[in-house]
Amino acid sequence: MTAAPIQSPPPEVSVVVPVYGNRNTLPELLSRLDKTLTGYECEYVFVVDGSPDDSLDILKQEGLSRPHLRVIEFVRNFGQHAALCAGFEMARGEVVVILDADLQQSPEDLPPFIEAWRGGKEFVSGVRGSRKDSLLRRFGSYFMNRLVRSVTGVPLRDWGCPMAAIDRRIIDQIAFAGEQRRFLKPLVARLSRSWTEIEIQGLEREGESSYSMFSLIGLSLDFMVSFSNRPFQRLTGAGAALLGIGSACAVLYIILRIVGVVVDYPQVQVGIFISVLIGMQTVILGMLGEFTHRVYRLVQGQPFFELRGEHVAGEFVGEERN
């Protein structure tokens, strides 16, 4: 399999792969990609995200025989989503397909994604038909799937599956999405005019996941704060509803006391008071959350990633950028 040099017209397919601690799987992954994508005009964009092992050296060596392999090097670790965004900015293909480097997704599953894109879908997302993860990990994924579906309104079944194909139109818009780039799949789903899902087999992971249960909890909180103000709107609405119910009960209770239908019930009075108080506090909390969300959006400005450079066919090219 060969590919045109960087100065040539863009290829049809760009394969973007974030790399962190994957030295054991990289040679096999590249070999299987070469076999699977024979017949497609491709480039590979591997982003080394400050990997602590010698993944960069392995990729540089593999690139000597693969002019279509471009290795992007970060100055330090910025995280998976930053690595993907860097890959998107460097990719030149009409469609960008993504997968992890740990071989938990099979490269042989990529052609149906490309064909679905050729059929007119701007976003093709994978669905893991079988999972080899622990029960706790699957529970965390289930919670995140429900959360993201609720916030985005897009009914994807498996938001955590890394394998996907994304049209160039959407790739070009992602660079202007600010901090929302930290949540790529929800962002891509929101930008897409048409999408579909393809079931793949979830294989056993090589090595440990970089996302612990605490990381997933932190990610869910960050998602609720930075991606959408819908949770705060719902909180405000729930507080307003509770306040309205409490106030209506208070008015009804006073009327019934005046006409003598009921006698003094301290428990009812306390319950009404508590519901009104909680409702008011929830409304205030939701409004403060809405305000904080808007301030958060205004003060963004930290670089999402910083590049040391790019390695192509054994040569170092490019300049540091962010």
Structure confidence at residue 21 (pLDDT) = 92
pLDDT at 197 over 80: yes
Q: From CA 320, how far away is CA 40, in angstroms rounded?
A: 31
**Could you tell me if 37 and 15 are in contact, meaning their C-beta atoms sit under 8 angstroms apart?**
yes
User: Which residues make beta-bridge pairs with 309?
Assistant: 73
Q: Which of 24, 162, 141, 19 is nearest to 79 (CA)?
A: 19
Query: pLDDT tens digit string along 20-72?
Result: 999 999 999 999 999 999 999 999 999 999 999 999 999 999 999 999 999 99
Q: What is the mean pLDDT of residues 189-210?
A: 76
Q: What is the pLDDT of residue 3?
A: 41
Task: Give the mean model confidence (pLDDT) for residues 180-204.
Answer: 82
Burial-class residue 179 by CB neighbours within 10 Å (0-12, 13-18, 19+).
middle
Q: Does residue 101 register a pLDDT over 70?
A: yes
Least confident of 1-5, 106-110, 117-121, 305-309: 1-5
Is the pLDDT at 78 greater than 80? The verdict is yes
Which CA distances in Å does 137 have to 119, 143, 185, 216? Answer: 34, 10, 19, 9
Q: So what's the pLDDT on residue 120?
A: 95
Binned at pLDDT 50, 70 and 90, residue 2 comes out as: very low
Instruction: Check pLDDT > 90 for residue 322.
Output: no
Q: At what angle do helices 213-226 and 266-298 cross, to 10 degrees?
A: 80
* Residue 87 confidence (pLDDT) above 90: yes
Q: Which residues contact 278 (CB under 8 A, 6 or more apart)?
A: 239, 242
For residue 287, give the nearest of 243, 223, 246, 247 by alpha carbon.
243
Q: Say whether pLDDT at 224 is over 80.
A: no
Confidence of residue 169 (pLDDT cuts 50, 70, 90): very high
pLDDT for position 281: 72
Are the C-beta atoms of residues 178 and 300 closer than 8 Å to each other? yes
pTM greater than 0.75:
no
Contact present, 293 and 231 (Cβ < 8 Å) = no
Per-residue pLDDT for 18 more than 50? yes
Region 307-322: mean pLDDT is 74
- Model confidence pLDDT, tens digit, residues 285-305: 666 665 565 566 556 556 678
The most confident of 20-29, 73-82, 225-234, 310-319, by mean pLDDT = 20-29
* Neighbour-count burial of 18, counting CB atoms closer than 10 A to its CB (0-12 exposed, 13-18 middle, 19+ buried): buried
Average pLDDT (131-159) is 72
Distance, CA of 85 to CA of 303 (rounded, Å):
12
Structure tokens at 165: 């194909």
pLDDT (0 to 100) of residue 221 = 55
**Structure confidence at residue 205 (pLDDT):** 52
* Neighbouring C-alpha atoms within 13 Å toward the C-beta of 289: 23
Do 18 and 84 contact (CB within 8 A), yes or no? yes
Give DSSP secondary structure letters for 235-248.
HHHHHHHHHHHHHH
Nearest-CA neighbor of 239 among 188, 298, 290?
A: 290
Q: Which residue has the higher pLDDT, 176 or 12?
A: 12
Q: What is the mean pLDDT of the chain?
A: 79
Mean pLDDT of 232-236: 62
DSSP string over 195-233: EEEEEE--PPPSS--S--HHHHHHHHHHHHHHT-SHHHH
Give the tens place of pLDDT for each residue, 261-278.
766 667 766 776 777 777
